[in-house]
Amino acid sequence: MIRLFAAAAACALVGGSALAAPAAPKSVELYAIECGRLTMPNADMFSDDGAYKDKPAKMVVPCYLIRHPKGDLIWDTGLPQAATPAPGATVPPLLDQLKSIGLTPADIEYVSVSHSHFDHIGNAGKFASSTWIVDPEEKAYAFSETARKNAAQFAAYSALETSKTKLIEQPTFDVFGDKSVVIYQAPGHTPGHTVLLVRLKQAGPVILTGDLWHIAESRATKRVPRFNTNKADTLKSYEMVEKLAADTKAKVVLEHVPEDFDALPKFPAALK
């Protein structure tokens, strides 16, 4: 059973009027936005060796806003806002949380997702006016005939099909051209899965790992989910990201792990 919980969007609107769009920051800022929580009674699908059979798991569904002097990037867009919450709970709409700091989709220069599963691409269609940065294999995966048959999920991002697009055709993609926000190809979970390295002036480098690891202990044990598209590629991506983390001395954030998410500043505060 899936339960979706609310997260507070902490900035109130003054006098009921919308906030003005914030000025561009002087250095890179990382905002972690809660876009839902998942509770699963059986996490068996997250390891192909049976390690999680009949074991429960709790996961957070994050969205991220990276603000740069040259523009803004939305990274992972969470569950669709149309998702029906459990009784007594609500899904915190991503757009409402952005609005609380004075941003609308029209203000966002770039949108990218670690991969096209529903809990990462669920609101991406709302940013169709932004430039979509995507691995070509992931784009093909997202717009495959199989993906199109799931009408409800496909509708959440289908508008991206005609968006201005930049393809990640090399192992890395430097979003702003200064190596502060870099997308790395890390396939295996899906054909074009990616991770994001953000270099922050005060906090240092941070790696957002998408669905490379869903459960904290999977990182050390190198467990691979049953539903990954390619196990060999997954294991190579594990090695690549571990080397990247060691070389950059980066903080590694396992996106679905509540402890990792909760250790980041609570929105609307930012990691700088």
CA distance 38 to 60: 6
Section 4-15 average pLDDT: 32
State yes or no: pLDDT of 243 exceeds 50. yes
Query: For residue 271, what is the DSSP state?
Result: B
Mean pLDDT of 11-27: 64
To which H or E segment does residue 43 belong? Answer: none
248 by Cβ neighbours in 10 Å (0-12 / 13-18 / 19+) ranks as middle
Mean pLDDT value of segment 5-26: 54
Q: What is the pLDDT of residue 18?
A: 52
Average per-residue pLDDT in the chain?
91
Over range 35-54, report the average pLDDT. 95
Asked which of 77-81, 94-98, 125-129, 245-249 is least confident by mean pLDDT, the reply is 77-81
And the tokens for 12?
A: 């109130």
Note the pTM of the prediction, 2 decimals. 0.91
Question: Counting runs of H as helices and runs of E as strands, what totals does the chain give?
Answer: 8, 11
Cα within 13 Å of Cα(111), Cβ side: 30
* Residue 19, Cβ density class (10 Å: 0-12 exposed, 13-18 middle, ≥19 buried): middle
Percentage of the chain with pLDDT > 70?
89
In CATH, the number for domain 24-262 is 3.60.15.10
